[in-house]
Amino acid sequence: MNFWQTFYKNKLMVAGAGIVLLLFIVSILAPWLAPYDPGEINLQNVLAPPSWQHPFGTDQLGRDVLSRMIWGAQISLKVGFVATGIAIIIGTILGAIAGFYGGWVDAAIMRFVDIMLCFPTFFLILAVIAFLEPSIWNIMIVIGLTGWMGVTRLVRADFISLKERDFVQAARVIGASDARIIFLHILPNAFASILVAATLGIAGAILTESALSFLGIGVQPPTPSWGNILTAGKDNIDIAWWLSLYPGLAILITVVGYNLLGEGIRDALDPRLKK
């Protein structure tokens, strides 16, 4: 009950949840919400400004920008959840092992984390993508494989604190295995931190995918993506401002929405932040 009370009192969290829910609805209902086929080319209506017929205008091939943005929301949602899911799984496993066992196991894992953090994440992604075919699945996997370090540190810190609690010691006394203690006793108590990390990670994954698509090495046309719509906007910014404005606002609002939701969940679930 306290969570929901905190939720309704936090207006920014409610706003973030509303944005995320709207993105879900748009993504799921894309086939019915999009007024046109996102890949339909109309060379007689190239770079048409916003109008009643095309509320967000058309691009350099005469495709309806609103339809492409609606379908692009599906891409953003898919990339955000799959990439973050990969990062959460890797980070949770490594963080749990490091925090629970400590000693040389902890030292080895955390030194590997430090090494990975030495590389700028975005440039590391660029380097890996340069050797792979730029497809949406490669993008999701690479983003996930380069985004787990923060989760590892977070989970490790929680496990170091939780493994000394009385309920863990009681589980040891009755002969519970390490795996049972980790997954059934400690991990559920670290779920709040993992949930916050996942929510914020989705925002980061969406932003990274958009940046890669903008550079031309992310989701490839004709598949609609907010990032590659921005690329068309860059090429025609002097005559087609709508190609930059609308996808840019969509990325901004989505990332802010996930960040607000993540911060709100942290405030609601972390007892140390409650007054």
**Residue 97 to residue 182: CA distance in whole angstroms:** 8
In a domain, 8, yes or no: no
Span between the terminal Cα atoms of the chain, in Å: 16
**Residue 143 to residue 86: CA distance in whole angstroms:** 9
Across 142-171, average pLDDT: 90
| Helix intervals (H) in the chain | 2-9, 11-28, 30-33, 65-101, 103-118, 121-130, 136-145, 149-162, 166-173, 178-180, 191-214, 226-235, 242-269
CA-wise closest residue to 58 among 242, 228, 236: 242
In a domain, 9, yes or no: no
Q: Which two tokens stand for residue 16?
A: 């973030």
In a domain, 22, yes or no: no
Under 8 Å between Cβ of 38 and 62 = no
**Residue 47 to residue 122: CA distance in whole angstroms:** 32
Lowest mean pLDDT among 89-93, 171-175, 271-275: 271-275
In a domain, 173, yes or no: yes
Residue 138: domain span:
62-273
pLDDT of residue 114: 92
Across 98-114, average pLDDT: 92
Lowest mean pLDDT among 32-41, 81-90, 97-106, 219-228: 219-228
pLDDT in tens, 262-273: 888 877 776 554
CA-wise closest residue to 102 among 12, 162, 18: 162
**Residue 152 to residue 156: CA distance in whole angstroms:** 6
pLDDT in tens, 250-260: 999 999 999 98
Which of the four pLDDT bands, split at 50, 70 and 90, describes residue 166?
Answer: confident
In a domain, 198, yes or no: yes
- CA 134-243-78 angle, to 5 degrees, is 40
In a domain, 172, yes or no: yes
**Residue 218 to residue 241: CA distance in whole angstroms:** 22
In a domain, 201, yes or no: yes
In a domain, 187, yes or no: yes
pLDDT in tens, 1-17: 466 666 677 778 888 88
Q: Considering the chain, what is the average pLDDT of its residues? A: 87
Q: CB atoms < 10 A from the CB of 1, how many?
A: 5
Which of the four pLDDT bands, split at 50, 70 and 90, describes residue 132?
Answer: confident
pLDDT of residue 2: 64
pLDDT of residue 26: 92
Lowest mean pLDDT among 22-31, 101-110, 227-236: 227-236
Compute φ and ψ for 58, nearest 5 degrees: -125, 165
Task: Domain count for the chain, please give it.
Answer: 1
CATH number of the domain encompassing residue 152: 1.10.3720.10
DSSP, collapsed to helix, strand or coil, labels residue 58 as: strand
Which of the four pLDDT bands, split at 50, 70 and 90, describes residue 275?
Answer: very low
